């Protein structure tokens, strides 16, 4: 698994991270801040 990358305009990347089961906490927070 790769480390959380900077905000990207690719929604596929976010979905991939979600599917891989990445850190929901950091991911969720980052997602909210990004969008």
| Predicted pLDDT at 33 | 56
Domain for residue 21, yes or no?
A: yes
Domain membership of residue 3 (yes or no) is: no
The reply to whether 2 falls in a domain is no
Give per-residue pLDDT as tens, 1-35.
566 666 655 665 666 666 655 555 666 666 665 54
The tally of domains found in the chain comes to 1
Domain that holds residue 17: 9-35
∠ at Cα 25 (35, 4), nearest 5°?
A: 70
DSSP string, 5-35: PPP-S-HHHHHHHHHHT--HHHHHHHHHHH-
Question: Looking at the domain assignment, is residue 1 inside a domain?
Answer: no
């Amino acid at each position: 698994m790769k480390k959380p990358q900077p905000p990207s305009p690719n929604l596929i990347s976010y979905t991939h991270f979600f599917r891989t089961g990445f850190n929901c906490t950091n991911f969720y927070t980052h997602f909210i801040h990004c969008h």
